[in-house]
Structure formats: C-alpha cells, structure tokens
C-alpha cells in the first residue's frame, strides 16, 4: 500500500472516529440533561412535601417524605454518574485516544502543524480541555466528578436536614371576634296612624 492509499484509509478511519466521539459526547450530554431534569422534579416534590409536612410509614416508624425523596434522588443521581463517567465517558476517552493515534499516523504522511508536528483536532481538543481551578488542572474526568459529587452531597445534606427537622405547627392569624348587632328598632307610631 503506497502513501496515498494509506493516507486515504487513515482519513476515512479518522472521520469515523470523529463521528464516534461526537456520538458518545452526545450521549453524555443527554444523560446530564436527563439527570438535571430528574433533579428539578425531585427538588420540587421535596419542597411540596416539606410545605405540607407529609410523613410516610417506613418499617415500624414514620419518616418525612421530603427526606425520603431527597435520599432516593441522591441514589438516582449517583446512578446517572455511573452511567455517565464509568460507562460512556470511558468509551469517549477510548475514541479520543484512537483519534490521536490516527492523527499521529496522518502527520507522518502530511504535516498537520503544531510544535511536535502531530497536533490534530482530537489532540488539540484534549489539550484545550483542562481548566485550572484552585491551583489544579481539571480534566474532563475530574469535572464530571465535581459536577455529580457536589450535587449528590448536597442532596444527602438536605435529606438529613429534612429528616431531622421538626414540623412547626402552622398558626393562622386570629380573626377578631365578630360582634353581632341586634337591629331591634323600636317602632314609633307614625303621626298619621295615631289620628
């Protein structure tokens, strides 16, 4: 196989690899969007349960419904985390690594630019992805952890607060006692009736 055929083959493989990267990235964004939608509904349901002071029977006791909703939401939130990072993100990283390898092979046949002559789209995205926060470079894996773990911990904290909060009795403002006035008017004889 000569260099031109090799180059065409690598370019076709690279295009397919980019499509796979886009596919896995799209799946991850959908998972995060669905997770945020579920979170919004769970927080709304917990707020209504707190407002109403609803309690449910669990085993031999009762528990605040809001706490139960928040704890179940935390479990569901960490399931989304598992599917996102542990499942699909690893596949995306695999596609990125494969794309970088293809770009290195293409760079041997045609220069792509960059300091080391191996910089292509995939490698440039990987290079641009990290964000500096609190003195550390956060790569995509760390960003996902921060996103899911911070919200998950907050759900657990709010669940504990809802669990330990005491229901305050609802007081309604007192109405002033209504006074009924008696309309007993004394009849005065009309001047014409007395004649």
pLDDT, tens digit (0-9, with 9 covering 90-100), for 56-70? 888 888 889 999 999
Q: Is the pLDDT of residue 179 over 50?
A: yes
pLDDT, tens digit (0-9, with 9 covering 90-100), for 123-147? 888 888 878 778 888 888 889 999 9
pLDDT of residue 170: 46
Q: Is the pLDDT of residue 35 over 90?
A: yes
- Whole-angstrom Cα distance, residue 74 to residue 148? 10
Q: Is the pLDDT of residue 182 over 80?
A: no
What global pTM score does this model have? 0.73
pLDDT, tens digit (0-9, with 9 covering 90-100), for 163-177? 887 655 445 555 555
Residue 148 contacts residue 81 (beta carbons within 8 Å): yes
- Whole-angstrom Cα distance, residue 58 to residue 77? 22
pLDDT, tens digit (0-9, with 9 covering 90-100), for 3-18? 888 889 999 999 999 9
Q: How far is CA 9 from the centre of its chain?
A: 41
Residue 74 contacts residue 151 (beta carbons within 8 Å): no
- Whole-angstrom Cα distance, residue 195 to residue 191? 7
- Whole-angstrom Cα distance, residue 42 to residue 155? 10
């Amino acid at each position: 196989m000569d260099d031109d055929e090799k180059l065409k083959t690598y370019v076709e493989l690279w295009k397919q690899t980019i499509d796979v990267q886009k596919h896995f990235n799209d799946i991850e964004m959908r998972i995060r969007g669905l997770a945020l939608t579920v979170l919004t509904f769970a927080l709304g349901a917990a707020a209504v349960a707190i407002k109403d002071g609803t309690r449910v029977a669990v085993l031999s006791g009762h528990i605040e419904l809001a706490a139960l909703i928040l704890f179940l939401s935390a479990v569901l939130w960490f399931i989304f985390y598992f599917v996102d990072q542990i499942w699909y993100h690893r596949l995306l990283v695999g596609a990125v690594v494969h794309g970088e390898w293809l770009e290195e092979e293409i760079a041997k046949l045609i220069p792509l630019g960059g300091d080391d002559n191996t910089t292509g789209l995939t490698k440039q995205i990987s290079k641009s992805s990290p964000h500096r926060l609190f003195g550390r470079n956060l790569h995509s894996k760390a960003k996902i952890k921060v996103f899911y773990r911070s919200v998950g911990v907050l759900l657990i904290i709010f669940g504990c607060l809802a669990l330990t909060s005491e229901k305050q009795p609802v007081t309604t403002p007192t109405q002033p006692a209504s006074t009924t006035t008696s309309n007993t008017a004394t009849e005065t004889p009309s001047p014409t009736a007395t004649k």
